[in-house]
């Protein structure tokens, strides 16, 4: 894979991993901080907590169904003024965390034998990507590239326990609609925008924001970290230029999110992730490819580092699979 593509994807992996971590709020604590924003059937004359309660109900319902089919568009900074847009579709599960998807878009050129459409499988923190037959031919026929983001964070993130913990959730965590709903319900300004049509279905549109500080503070999975590691995490988020998360969700009559949008500004530019969900409860039988067909990226990096071919993974100069 071309170095510039790796660097762009490196930004997305970092941003998404940070997003995955701060969305792991969980819990079903009652929160009455939301503020209603429109007078519709869902709004009642209560002290501003109705929108938050509705989002919390949708969060619980989403947790219970555990899987869905999805279509996702991810827009992120690219080279120069040209943004990078990736579109993917497939099936995901969030208990346990698994994804099987196919991705197309700018940033996936057919170079080094890589297909213009890439299939990837994620199980927990490990993602396997099909690199195509040409690249596989240069690696003893192995066409699956294995990336364990938790281990990669450990190698390139020093002793930051917080970053390693966040990266441990992997891509599946960042796409998990229950986690995104959990983040939205922690927003101090959740409001109902109104009724809208999404995919031919009537849905209630809610929106809210959360600062980076609020996101870290509300994340129960970080309670075991000491103040140094917590601050290191917050510094990492802010160094990426992320100060606030803007969230929108459209909830149908079954209290399930049929569309989610997450936006954030980074040091490199604006990042936006849109998910459309359907077929809740769909079977998500995701299996890892055979070990004999897999190349471990981290092991390859370590061997090349030992031989003096490349610097450490923290430099971001990830090599071609076929090198």
Beta-carbon count within 10 A of 183 CB: 26
Q: Specify the CATH number for the domain of residue 71.
A: 2.50.20.20
Using DSSP's 3-state secondary structure scheme, residue 234 falls into: helix
Q: What is the pLDDT of residues 47-93, one digit of tens each?
A: 348 999 999 999 999 999 999 999 999 998 876 677 789 899 999 99
Is the distance from CB of 80 to CB of 14 less than 8 angstroms? no
Q: Is 320 contained in some domain?
A: no
How does pLDDT run across 115-134, given as a tens digit for each residue? 678 899 999 889 999 988 88
Query: How many domains in the chain?
Result: 1
Question: Is residue 147 one of the residues assigned to a domain?
Answer: yes
Main-chain dihedrals φ then ψ at residue 313, nearest 5 degrees: -60, -25
Summarised one tens digit per residue, pLDDT across range 187-242 is: 999 999 999 999 999 999 999 999 988 887 776 666 666 788 778 778 878 888 88
Domain-located, residue 316 = no
- Residues paired with 147 in a beta bridge: 127
Instruction: Identify the pLDDT of residue 208.
Output: 95
Q: Is residue 315 part of a domain?
A: no
Per-residue pLDDT, averaged over 29-43, amounts to 38
Is 322 domain-assigned? no
Domain range enclosing 120: 3-309
Angle between helices 297-306 and 149-156 (to 10 degrees): 30
Q: Is residue 323 part of a domain?
A: no
- Please give the backbone phi and psi of residue 76, each rounded to the nearest 5 degrees, phi first: -150, 165
Q: pTM of the predicted model, to two decimals? A: 0.76
Most confident of 149-153, 171-175, 231-235: 231-235
Q: What are 261-275's pLDDT values in tens digits? A: 999 988 888 899 999
pLDDT of residue 115: 61
Confidence of residue 113 (pLDDT cuts 50, 70, 90): low
- Note whether residue 319 is domain-resident: no
* Radius of gyration, CA atoms only, the chain: 20
Assess if residue 321 is contained within a domain: no
DSSP 35: -
Are 68 and 277 spatial neighbours (Cβ–Cβ below 8 Å)? yes
pLDDT of residue 59: 93
């Amino acid at each position: 894979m071309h170095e510039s593509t790796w660097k762009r994807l490196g930004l997305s992996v970092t941003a998404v991993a940070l997003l995955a971590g701060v969305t792991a709020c969980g819990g079903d604590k009652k929160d009455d901080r939301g503020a209603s924003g429109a007078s519709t059937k869902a709004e009642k004359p209560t002290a501003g907590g109705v929108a938050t309660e509705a989002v919390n109900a949708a969060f619980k319902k989403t947790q219970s169904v555990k899987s869905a089919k999805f279509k996702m568009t991810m827009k992120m900074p690219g080279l120069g003024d040209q943004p990078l847009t990736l579109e993917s579709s497939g099936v995901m599960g969030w208990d346990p965390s698994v994804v099987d998807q196919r991705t197309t878009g700018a940033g996936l050129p057919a170079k080094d034998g890589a297909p213009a459409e890439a299939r990837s499988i994620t199980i927990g923190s490990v993602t396997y990507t099909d690199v195509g037959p040409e690249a596989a031919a240069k690696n003893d026929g192995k066409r699956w590239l294995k990336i364990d983001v938790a281990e990669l964070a450990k190698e390139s993130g020093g002793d930051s326990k917080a970053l390693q913990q966040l990266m441990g959730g992997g891509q599946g965590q960042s796409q998990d609609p229950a986690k995104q709903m959990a983040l939205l319900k922690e927003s101090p300004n959740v409001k109902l925008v109104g009724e809208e049509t999404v995919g031919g279905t009537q849905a209630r549109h809610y929106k809210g924001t959360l600062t980076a500080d609020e996101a870290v503070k509300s994340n129960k999975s970080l309670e075991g970290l000491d103040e140094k590691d917590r601050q290191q995490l917050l510094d990492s988020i802010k160094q990426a230029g992320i100060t606030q998360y803007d969230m929108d969700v459209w909830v149908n009559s079954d209290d399930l999110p049929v569309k989610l949008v997450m936006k954030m500004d980074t040091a490199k530019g604006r990042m936006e992730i849109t998910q459309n969900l359907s077929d809740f409860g769909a079977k998500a039988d995701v299996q890892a490819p055979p070990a004999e067909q897999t190349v471990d990226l981290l092991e390859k990096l370590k061997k090349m580092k030992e031989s003096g071919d490349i610097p450490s993974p923290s430099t971001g100069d990830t090599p071609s699979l076929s090198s």
